[in-house]
A and B are shown apart, each in its own frame.
Chain A
Amino acid sequence: MAIELNGKTYETDEEGYLTDINEWNEDVAKILAQNENIDMTEQHWEVIEFLREYYNEFQIAPAVRVLTKAIGKKLGPEKGNSQYLYELFPYGPGKQACKIAGLPKPTGCI
């Protein structure tokens, strides 16, 4: 599968994850979000940005707890929980947010 945007082709795998994380940009993220039926708001972008920063440092998406803690610190403790993340990304913050952020899919018993 692939996404066509502004004359450029972005390869994705059969589940819609971007094949090359380096090709990611905000425009392609919007398309990825559309495919997931998500309207991107500022709150969504904050999560995406954190995911990408963390990935750059550790070559893996952050643990759900690491993510909720970081969001809690930034946006206040009432948002530092997975319920808030599920509201933003109903299919599960781990997988859906990673997909929009252009990160590889986390695998395993999760």
Chain B
Amino acid sequence: MAAAEFTTPEMKEFAEVPRLQPGAMAQSKPFLASDKMNEALGFPGTLVPDWHEKAIGRLGELLKKYRSLKVYLDACVHCGACTDKCHYFLGSGDPKNMPVARQDLLRGVYRRHFTLAGKLMPKLVGAQELTRELLDDWFNYFHQCSECRRCSVFCPYGIDTAEITMAGRDILDTVGYGQKYSNEIIGKVHKVGNNLGLPGPALLDTLQGLEEDVKEDTGVDVRYPLDEKGAEVLLITPSADFFAEPHVESLIGYGKVFHAAGISWTLSSKASEAANFGMFIGSYEQMRQVALRIREAALELGAKRIVVGECGHAWRVAYSFWNTLTGIGAGGEDPFALQLQNQLDPAHKQPTHICELTWDLIRRGALKFDKAANDHRVITFHDSCNVARASRMGDAPGGQFDIPRAIIRAVANNYFEMPAGTTHEATFCCGGGGGLLTDELIEIRVKGALPRMDALNQVVERHGVNFMATICAICKAQFTKVLPYYKFNRGMVGGVHQLVSTAIRLGEA
């Protein structure tokens, strides 16, 4: 299938608010999930005949369940602070991609059915009926939001746009109007154990291949163990780390860190996936089911620590939700959660991010590096949205920003920041997050990458940056695909542990 034709936006030194282009992205939509994909997750296979009634009913349930959603739908005063903060708006000019306008697709229906003013005088308060046309707009535009929450940083009321997008997608799934990319993948996690559908034997073959490669490169027997009972650490990492480039370079790096520090570790074929697309589709139940695989694997393998690899939204789920979803960390109260809490070593943070683990070892002098080995690289760091705005690392505020940068500075000599306002909590999404990393959405992905490409271009021109490090599998895959549209080399993107891997000293062979 030939990719749809479109024009890659032009990079500019000073980001400009684009000229409005109403309807510019009205045709952009993901593929529909098949009936089998939907039914495997307990959703109706296709759009139900009484979708209107069901959708309004589901919105009512969500409003009761999530007080936050009601607050967000009520609180917006249309001040406009968010309008020029969304990468998809900046890249496409489509006014419905202003966060407030995208939210209003749902807010209008909320007002019509759940507020007195909206019931009595809908036109005066921006209330609107959920028509089939509007439902289609939900499907199209709620899949032009990567749930990155940059706009929320600038909202004076702190409205979490991602939560509104998630509610929209939840309702769509409830009426049988699901998205193929996310729903197919969640089905594979339930069936095979990971997003890719990589079965145990293929995983084992791949990991054995890595052991051979590292031995060949370094002369050292670094292990990449699978399903080893009694290992101290259970590493949960995105399955892209096994499969794709540059992802696998970071996986190689994690193994070298464990080896150099003398920490026993294992991967699990049951929980061979850190990603949790249940969050993307706004389904608490799916998010919980996906997370429970990790608890099962940890109990079976007897691990004392759970460490999470380079995956952005997985770290949000792990850091913010695993405790009550599964009992990893305090919070879960069912017998298995309590059993897991007793099993895990309280001397360590549960879960631990791989960057926290590596940085802790560096600080204690347990790892040695040959920094010059990275001298061919001039490096910058792209903050991934879910790590930056929905989690933390270490013990101090901002640890999620400082720790990955501290690791890079410890393993490499050439490091430059991208311009302020495009990093840290104001970081721009890569353009492919939140369940949008699929080929049919390539146009919005390329356009949404514009603000990041603008910022990258500045450090490329001023400092000769040739490597953008990141700690998210989606960011890595998205940039590998879109960098060439902006005339950059796709090999410019890689992982923080790829840099660690290059410089780490493994001791005597």
Q: Which residues of A contact B (CB under 8 A)?
A: 14-16, 35, 37, 58-60, 62-66, 69, 82, 86, 91-92, 94-95, 104, 106-110
Contact = CB atoms under 8 A, between A and B. Distances in A.
B474 interface: yes
B238 interface: yes
Interface residues of B, number: 41
Contacts of A37: 2
Contacts of A92: 481
A109 B275 contact: yes
Interface centre among A35, A65, A86, A95 (most CB of B within 10 A): A65
Nearest to A86: B490
10 contacts: A14-B31, A60-B196, A63-B248, A65-B206, A82-B245, A86-B490, A92-B481, A107-B185, A108-B194, A108-B275
Contacts of A14: 31, 440
A63 B1 contact: no
Contact of A66 (B197, B205, B490): B205
Interface in B2-25: 2-3
**Interface residues of chain B: helix, strand, loop or mixed (majority):** helix
The 7 closest A-B pairs by CB, nearest first: A108-B195, A109-B473, A58-B202, A110-B244, A109-B240, A16-B1, A108-B196
Contact of A59 (B3, B181, B199, B474): B199
Contacts of B247: 109-110
A24 B199 CA distance: 22
A66 B239 CA distance: 15
Nearest to B205: A58
Contacts of A16: 1
Contacts of B275: 108-109
A66 B206 contact: yes
B198 A60 contact: yes
Given A59-B199, A64-B243, A109 B238 contact: yes
Contact of A107 (B188, B242, B245, B481): B188
Contacts of B439: 15, 95
A66 B207 CA distance: 10
Given A14-B440, A65-B206, 9 more contacts: A15-B31, A64-B243, A65-B248, A69-B209, A94-B243, A95-B439, A107-B181, A108-B239, A110-B477
Interface string B193-224: 01111110110011001100100000000000
Nearest to B312: A109
A91 B248 CA distance: 20
Contacts of A59: 199, 202
A82 B480 CA distance: 12
A79 to B, nearest CB: 16
Contacts of A63: 206, 209, 242-244, 248
A35 B198 contact: no
B301 interface: no
A94 B209 contact: no
A95 B302 CA distance: 37
B505 to A, nearest CB: 23
Contacts of B437: 109
B206 A107 contact: no
